[in-house]
């Protein structure tokens, strides 16, 4: 049996929660303020979940939360907050609350939340009994920013709060999202990713929320949607700044009350999903410009994580480079053992516009082109350290590449595709005098898609 402690200064609310949670088969205890709760917790060793009000005298919810996290870190704390206490709710999540419920709430919501917390608690216990350690995602680096992020990932591991990861392209946003998932109580559940900018709004909605058969042409059968597929796991919403307005409204609703409606459906579904979002854009600027809902921004950025660009983490470059070298050397079976001093210096000096993804590509290439020993600067950067490898003349590129692959040479397929795409988009923009609508037509893609591409490629 699971024991729940309800802490609230309103006797009526305490009583109501006590009765209804008991009816669900839980053992329920109550306390009227933080101090009473602490006394109970010290005497009772079997409390797993605490439902806690924010505003109480003399010891309030935040102080109680801090004490619990410190003394009994396994206990899951759900905060009950009024809508107006939004700031404090966010603070509570940062302090390590498992989740929060807005007052006034309906009982079904509280029951569902307790149910989730109980399942999470059991899950963690089972994993520990089996001696399992969750597969660690390795975020390499010792600079202050990375250390702070590692600490934060640990701190929020028992919570369900949404995290917004920001940073330039290639700084490791997806890696952080994965680290968050695998460190969390949901580690055994699925981790599902979706690129919010790659689909039209209606397709994206059907991807996220699912659709019922016949709801639109092509909907030949029911589709569960990612909120269902990510059940008991984490949904990673990549490029969240690209969400269309209608989709933002629907997403806000799931985040606030855990409910959504599949496209064309009538039955409301409940989501048990932790959302991690990422963007390489400044969402606050978008909020100010009216392109992104402010309420959704705050709902997503309960825990904000910012990844600095690699050029601001120079002290970590050698460390990450070494890690990547080891990985690729094993994979490509090369006896490569390190970098020459010049190569290391060139790595430190390069501005890294593509951040760690670029570093990864260059090192992969360096390992592939070095039989054994140390990788040289020239192998990483061509003749001039710090310069990009020259782009082949248009038209010849495809055939040249083909020849290189046929000769068994290693190429960077993704890099080449991006380069090609950039050439084509640039040509279309030039041809149409920077008219996005026209350029989209020339390229046979939608306006949203070209807007996304232009930003992704850094053309504007």
Ligand X SMILES: Nc1ncnc2c1ncn2[C@@H]1O[C@H](COP(=O)(O)OP(=O)(O)OP(=O)(O)O)[C@@H](O)[C@H]1O
Pairing of strands 233-238, 191-195: parallel
Q: Give DSSP secondary structure letters for 265-303.
A: --S-EE--EEEEEEESS-HHHHHHTTSS-HHHHHHHTTE
Tokens of 346: 């060139």
Please give the residues from 273 up to 292 whose contact with ligand X meets the rule CB under 6 A.
Answer: 280
Contact between 360 and ligand X (CB under 6 A)? yes
Which lies closer to Mg ion via its Cβ, residue 197 or residue 233? 197
CB of 238 to Mg ion, least distance (A): 5
CB of 367 to ligand X, least distance (A): 14
How many residues sit close enough to ligand X to count as binding (CB under 6 A)? 17
- Which partner from the list Mg ion, ligand X, none does 141 bind, CB cut-off 5 to 8 Å by kind? ligand X
Which lies closer to ligand X via its Cβ, residue 109 or residue 418? 418
- Which partner from the list Mg ion, ligand X, none does 139 bind, CB cut-off 5 to 8 Å by kind? ligand X
Stretch that binds ligand X, among 112-120, 163-171, 412-420, 427-435 (CB under 6 A): 163-171
Beta bridge partners of 27: 3
CB of 145 to ligand X, least distance (A): 10
Stretch that binds ligand X, among 84-92, 167-175, 244-252, 380-388 (CB under 6 A): 167-175
d(CA 7, CA 54): 9
d(CA 33, CA 10): 10
- Decide: helix, strand or coil at residue 371: coil
CB of 251 to Mg ion, least distance (A): 19
The gap from C-alpha 181 to its chain's centroid, in whole angstroms, comes to 8
Beta bridge partners of 192: 235
Cα–Cα nearest to 203, from 246, 174, 249: 246
Which DSSP state fits 98?
A: S
Contact between 175 and ligand X (CB under 6 A)? yes
Contact between 418 and Mg ion (CB under 5 A)? no
Which string of x and - marks every residue 162-201 that binds Mg ion (by CB under 5 A)?
------------x---------------------------
Tokens of 101: 């419920």
d(CA 299, CA 302): 6
CB 78 within 8 A of CB 50: yes
Which lies closer to ligand X via its Cβ, residue 6 or residue 359? 359
Which DSSP state fits 376?
A: P
- Decide: helix, strand or coil at residue 309: coil
Q: Which residues of 67-79 are buried (b: 16+ CB within 10 A; e: fewer)?
A: bbbeeeeebbbbb
CB of 2 to ligand X, least distance (A): 37
Stretch that binds ligand X, among 102-110, 282-290, 353-361, 420-428 (CB under 6 A): 353-361
CB of 379 to Mg ion, least distance (A): 27
Pairing of strands 372-375, 259-260: unpaired
Please give the residues from 323 up to 382 whose contact with Mg ion meets the rule CB under 5 A.
Answer: none
CB of 356 to ligand X, least distance (A): 4
Contact between 231 and Mg ion (CB under 5 A)? no
Which string of x and - marks every residue 297-316 that binds Mg ion (by CB under 5 A)?
--------------------
Please give the residues from 241 up to 280 whose contact with ligand X meets the rule CB under 6 A.
Answer: 280
Judged by CB under 6 A, the residue of 116, 124, 173, 223 near ligand X is 173
CB 58 within 8 A of CB 34: yes
Binding site for Mg ion (CB under 5 A): 174
- Binding interface with ligand X (CB under 6 A): 139-141, 167, 169-175, 280, 320, 323, 356-357, 360
């Amino acid at each position: 049996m699971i024991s729940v402690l309800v802490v609230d200064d309103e006797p009526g609310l305490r009583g109501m929660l006590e009765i209804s949670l008991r009816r669900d088969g839980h053992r329920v205890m109550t306390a009227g303020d933080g101090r009473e709760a602490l006394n109970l917790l010290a005497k009772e060793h079997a409390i797993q979940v605490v439902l806690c009000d924010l505003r109480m005298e003399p010891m309030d919810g935040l102080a109680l939360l801090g004490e619990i996290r410190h003394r009994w870190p396994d206990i899951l704390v759900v905060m009950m907050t009024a809508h107006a206490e939004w700031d404090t709710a966010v603070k509570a999540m940062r302090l390590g609350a498992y989740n929060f419920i807005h007052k006034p709430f309906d009982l079904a919501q509280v029951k569902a939340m307790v149910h989730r917390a109980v399942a999470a608690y059991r899950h963690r216990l089972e994993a520990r009994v089996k001696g399992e350690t969750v597969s660690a995602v390795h975020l390499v680096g010792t600079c202050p920013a990375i250390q702070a992020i590692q600490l934060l990932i640990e701190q929020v591991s028992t919570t369900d709060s949404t995290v917004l990861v920001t940073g330039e392209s290639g700084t490791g946003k997806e890696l952080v999202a994965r680290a968050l998932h695998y460190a969390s109580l949901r580690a055994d559940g699925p981790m599902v990713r979706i690129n919010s900018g790659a689909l039209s709004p209606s397709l994206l909605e059907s991807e996220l929320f699912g659709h019922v058969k016949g709801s639109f042409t092509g909907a030949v059968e029911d589709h569960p949607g990612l909120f269902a597929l990510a059940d008991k796991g984490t949904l990673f919403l990549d490029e969240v700044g690209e969400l269309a307005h209608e989709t933002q409204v629907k997403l806000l609703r799931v985040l606030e009350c855990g409910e959504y409606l599949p496209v064309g459906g009538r039955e409301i579904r409940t989501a048990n999903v932790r959302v991690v979002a990422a963007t390489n854009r400044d969402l606050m600027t978008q909020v100010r410009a009216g392109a992104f809902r402010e309420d959704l921004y705050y709902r997503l950025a309960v825990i904000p994580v910012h990844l600095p660009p690699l050029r601001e983490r120079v002290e970590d470059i050698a460390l990450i480079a070494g890690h990547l070298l080891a990985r690729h050397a094993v994979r490509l079976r090369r006896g490569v053992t390190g970098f020459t001093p010049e190569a290391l210096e060139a790595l430190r000096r390069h501005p890294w516009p593509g951040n760690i993804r670029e570093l990864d590509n260059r090192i992969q290439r360096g390992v592939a082109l070095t039989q054994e020993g140390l990788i040289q600067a020239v192998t990483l950067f061509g003749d001039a350290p710090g310069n990009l490898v020259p782009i082949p003349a248009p038209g010849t590129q495809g055939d040249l590449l083909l020849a290189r692959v046929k000769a068994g040479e290693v190429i960077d397929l993704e890099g080449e595709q991006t380069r090609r795409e950039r050439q084509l988009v640039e040509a279309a923009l030039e041809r149409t005098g920077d008219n996005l609508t026209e350029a989209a037509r020339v390229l046979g893609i939608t306006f949203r898609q070209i807007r996304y591409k232009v930003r992704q490629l850094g053309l504007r």
